[in-house]
Structure 1
């Protein structure tokens, strides 16, 4: 006879325990236990009790006497839905992460061990006690005494194995409510509210009980009689009174003080309504194509390729409006936090209280409250950064990913997931649709759209036919030849001065994404590159060597330029602070602000800078990639790009793509209002095709050239890449372990007759950023076609993950990334 068993992931971080354990289920538990519930199980030799999560329930035909039994259930219903559990297990396989890391991504925010289910009486429900069983009456009386009780506490008091059935029946009748809460230092937030005790009496009767000289008490009574139940904070402010007056009235029995839960909201007050715009013909076509395709079940993946300022946001808003009419829910992802204030204003301005916000800058309490609002169905739209893709909706109909090309959609923490791939998988599991939008699609996405896997929709004009800004390319080699050694070209200096005279705003952008030191000639623009990989060589100060971080080639840096013989050849770099100092000296009377990681680390600082910019209180804004994202400032008519070359010469196969995207996106911030905009791009490589195509705003031509290079050098989308970074404090040990890992990978491939794939495994070499946070880093890069990807992931898992606890790997950590943003 078969017995039911549960596969349980235990809450233990060791890689040795990162696997499902099989536990027998007691007969009286079989009906109640569901996938996604937490359980208490005996674990290890000492059988200490540990919490775990059930990922599967199945029949077992083996010898049951060898299994341990689940001790207890900790939830009355699953804390993770079946679909989200499936998504988590898919992530574990796809991104080579641990079970726990993948499960934590989809769980409520907070500690797995501290989640509790609380049960309380529904005040809004009247019920007939005669229709309720004695056991149910017992539960109601306990809840009446205690307001709310945790599930585990209630179980102890009731002492009934069928408690779940009674709770379920009471919940179905609407008599009780259940809520997931997380034990933390942050609890639900409560606020005091005041109401008249005898609100059915006439005002004169209530006032007759109060002494004529107690003017403040009388004023409070009059206010409450008019306003009804009011928060204590508001009452004290409106009547200009003190706490002691309220306390006196409470003692006299004239007023009641009650505590009400107040949800912490990260959404600022006073957001004005964002009116619905009439769509242009092209927007209308785009919207209808998506709705008709979904309705006719002809596809569920879309790419809106629209130039900057073409009105993609209004299409998103109207798509969501259509969708929520049919009872569905929507998730909108935006890159990082930088877009959120402006995007939130638009979505809340249109949909009001139906919107929740999730991103990393929320306080713990705000995130907890937003998560519960989503889980309890109080909102039907979530706007947020990458992790909002896991918002716990039960009836998801749409995921929108704006600026889909952005780096920040790829997680750098385990699980190292790509939010676009996760969104696609979630849509597949839940029958929802996916809409991607950008002016500069990633090559991989556009390649899929061209091959018909994603439906492509194009918006080639700005709203109201506003012109795209003119882009002027300044050759910094010529500036040097004419004697200008400043970081600002003459053209850019003159344009800033002109802008200040006309009371217009300027953005100066410093391109420092993934900054890496390369060697270049300021006279002719030559950059030292690897002949085998078409990738910039990275300069290592300590050894005075140039290295390729794909194939490992090492060479000495040239002292004079091999192209033009100039001595102006050296490594490249300048920071935002340095630029701020220079600009302040050049334009002492202008109002200058800087927006980078240092100036926006405090909560709310980002929004404050943007508000000052919007109000016209800043003349020149200096920033890094933070200012490239979707910002809409009508008075910005000039954008200066200080050095286009820093991203162009990263040791990365995506450097041309990133440069094209960056120039197009930053340039798109200019001329969005009633005035025409211009962009000045300073570069030592003006003839490079990514810079030329950005100048022409010609994505198609850029794509056609870049995709041929990707094919020739076997980079994505034609091949997938897996990077393995080994790091630790001891440089020699890191190098030794890296070589051992490399050998073991080759060994495993030979065992399964795949030795020919060794040609696609590069390394081990020091990583481009060889020393980071006192750790030395070495890496192995694996290229794979689609056919062998799964097999190679298994090999990497067996060699690196399952053996990471080996004594020979002590003090060495592994970081594995599938299709990383870059190999820095």
Structure 2
């Protein structure tokens, strides 16, 4: 859905249009889409350009000059296009503004949506957010919400599988493993393959499993540098390794518990390698394609995998969230069966946005579903399950109640303060001292602010440094009041306003 009339009127009035997209890989698709949408304008090829700071230098300069000289009537680009030298900007559109790629993780850690709002305010122009499922904050804070109703489609059958009842333990030579597939999902896959029908299976984790755990004492194998659970990888039956995502260290898996010396070690969680192996064992005659950053790191390879699945002879697509990068390109592509093997590792995170992110995953996967959708989970009463059973309005109502009760966005703004040091005591003391100073400032100003922490970060140690986090929740303050609060924070602290996560 694109506001064709608004775009055309902006260009006819001699103004420029900025069209932000979350992924560079979508650039060519959106250029073609805009050309089709604005065919009445009869724009020339050089009137539409793509802009991003990671373009080849010559192409970057060429696009820069077109925008500066007003020759580019419509500019499509990633978040950096907000800083292009527009001569007469008249409209800003942001596609999927809740996408994480709009948030810069480098200083000054800006969010493209917030910059777009400020730019539109300064120039007195419209900002339009285009989303298949807006974030809670965007939905509540927008001045106007225009819903485009999709064409009526055949009702999708949805089934929620409680994995506390539907999972099995498999006795392997090295570890005891949970079976990734419940019996109902296994039977549905088998039935669809017999009918030569395609299947999409989703998992939001790489690796063999979440971690290696001792079933007797609860010991977990962790990285010595980072204090984070190591992920088990299996290259072959005899080639196992454990990898840390944070520092990249690699070690051999334990033969027994390093705490109680028990031999009863299990893998918890379901990584994509483990599921791929299980699928190949159970469906030997089927062509199973895998889409994740390990086997398809480049966008060209990812597109080849998708083309092979949708247009050729792929039977099962086992995918991570990389699939969602190509949502606009794959509009209309549907398969009879879509199953979520697990997103419980996401839902178990102590972060207020976890459930909302889970709902976004489900929503995106439903767009690929023709007949049946299966959701496997250990938490059948979660907000994600509520969304599947009762729809978006019910989910929104419950989540807003929860957000208001605990003073989370959109009822507050969040600032995340992070300090790290090789000395754990130094990290703790520094964080406690800052909290005292912040509390003094808040008391003097009589501001409505909550300070959470300080506390050790979710991953307490990364690359040999201990991490402590303080979270500030505050009502919308004037710029000078926020500046006064942040002026207390030393320059060597990491400051993140509107962070993607608080853990």
Q: Normalization by structure 2: what TM-score?
A: 0.77
Alignment of 1:777-816 (within 5 A): 777-787=467-477, 790-801=480-491, 804=492, 814-816=493-495
SS of structure 2 residue aligned to 1:766: strand
SS of structure 2 residue aligned to 1:458: coil
SS of structure 1 residue aligned to 2:145: strand
Matched, 1:496 2:166: no
- Aligned 8 A contact 1:473 1:683 in 2: yes
Aligned-partner Cα distance in 1 for 2:195–2:6: 40
- Aligned 8 A contact 1:644 1:659 in 2: yes
Match of 2:323 in 1: 627
Which of 119, 126, 132 is 1:439 aligned to? 132
Structure 1 residue 569 displacement after superposition: 13
Which of 738, 742, 754 is 2:445 aligned to? 754
Evaluate the alpha carbon distance shift between residue 348 and residue 503 of structure 1 in structure 2; reply closer, same or farther with a 3 A threshold: farther
Aligned-partner Cα distance in 2 for 1:358–1:468: 41
Match of 2:304 in 1: 608
Structure 1 residue 346 displacement after superposition: 2.4
Structure 1 residue 391 displacement after superposition: 3.2
SS of structure 2 residue aligned to 1:786: coil
Structure 1 residue 576 displacement after superposition: 2.3
Evaluate the alpha carbon distance shift between residue 791 and residue 658 of structure 1 in structure 2; reply closer, same or farther with a 3 A threshold: same
Once superposed, what is the RMSD of the aligned Cα atoms? 3.4
Alignment of 1:223-242 (within 5 A): none
Evaluate the alpha carbon distance shift between residue 478 and residue 723 of structure 1 in structure 2; reply closer, same or farther with a 3 A threshold: same
Match of 1:769 in 2: 459
Structure 1 residue 479 displacement after superposition: 0.9
- Aligned 8 A contact 1:358 1:367 in 2: yes
Matched, 1:688 2:382: yes
Q: Which ranges in structure 1 are unaligned for 5 or more consecutive residues?
A: 1-311, 523-538, 543-567, 672-676, 805-813
Report Cα offsets for 1:376-427 as digits up to 9, x if no partner: 3332222233223333322222222222332322222212112112111111
Aligned-partner Cα distance in 2 for 1:588–1:793: 62
Structure 1 residue 434 displacement after superposition: 1.4
Which of 428, 437, 446 is 1:735 aligned to? 428
Match of 2:368 in 1: 669
- Aligned 8 A contact 2:25 2:299 in 1: no
Which of 6, 15, 26 is 1:328 aligned to? 15
Match of 1:414 in 2: 107
Aligned-partner Cα distance in 2 for 1:331–1:412: 23
Which of 334, 352, 356 is 1:657 aligned to? 356
Match of 1:429 in 2: 122
Aligned-partner Cα distance in 1 for 2:467–2:135: 28
- Aligned 8 A contact 1:471 1:667 in 2: no
Report Cα offsets for 1:155-189 as digits up to 9, x if no partner: xxxxxxxxxxxxxxxxxxxxxxxxxxxxxxxxxxx
Evaluate the alpha carbon distance shift between residue 597 and residue 729 of structure 1 in structure 2; reply closer, same or farther with a 3 A threshold: farther
Higher mean displacement: 337-346 or 765-774: 337-346
Matched, 1:455 2:144: yes
Structure 1 residue 747 displacement after superposition: 4.2
Structure 1 residue 488 displacement after superposition: 1.4
Match of 2:258 in 1: none
- Which protein, 1 or 2, shows the higher relative CO under an 8 Å CA cutoff with sep ≥ 6? 2
Match of 2:418 in 1: 725
Match of 2:203 in 1: 510
Aligned-partner Cα distance in 2 for 1:683–1:491: 13
Aligned-partner Cα distance in 1 for 2:291–2:4: 29
Structure 1 residue 482 displacement after superposition: 10
- Aligned 8 A contact 2:167 2:182 in 1: no
Evaluate the alpha carbon distance shift between residue 724 and residue 455 of structure 1 in structure 2; reply closer, same or farther with a 3 A threshold: same
- Aligned 8 A contact 2:417 2:469 in 1: yes
Match of 1:386 in 2: 79
Higher mean displacement: 634-643 or 496-505: 496-505
User: Which protein is bigger by CA-based radius of gyration?
Assistant: 1
Aligned-partner Cα distance in 1 for 2:359–2:321: 13
Structure 1 residue 470 displacement after superposition: 2.9
Alignment of 1:545-560 (within 5 A): none
Evaluate the alpha carbon distance shift between residue 770 and residue 417 of structure 1 in structure 2; reply closer, same or farther with a 3 A threshold: same
Structure 1 residue 710 displacement after superposition: 0.8
Aligned-partner Cα distance in 2 for 1:610–1:365: 31
- Aligned 8 A contact 2:292 2:320 in 1: yes
Count of residues in Structure 1 that have an aligned counterpart in Structure 2 = 441
Aligned-partner Cα distance in 1 for 2:460–2:21: 32
Report Cα offsets for 1:775-794 as digits up to 9, x if no partner: 33211111111247752442
Aligned-partner Cα distance in 2 for 1:580–1:437: 35
Matched, 1:821 2:500: yes
SS of structure 2 residue aligned to 1:642: strand
Match of 1:301 in 2: none
Which of 340, 345, 358 is 1:646 aligned to? 345
Structure 1 residue 653 displacement after superposition: 1.0
Q: Normalization by structure 1: what TM-score?
A: 0.49
SS of structure 1 residue aligned to 2:289: strand
Evaluate the alpha carbon distance shift between residue 597 and residue 735 of structure 1 in structure 2; reply closer, same or farther with a 3 A threshold: farther
Matched, 1:705 2:398: yes
- Aligned 8 A contact 1:512 1:625 in 2: no
Aligned-partner Cα distance in 2 for 1:398–1:445: 18
Alignment of 1:119-518 (within 5 A): 312=1, 315-317=2-4, 319-337=6-24, 339-348=26-35, 353=45, 354-359=47-52, 362-449=55-142, 454-459=143-148, 461-463=149-151, 465-467=152-154, 469-480=156-167, 485-512=178-205
Match of 1:136 in 2: none
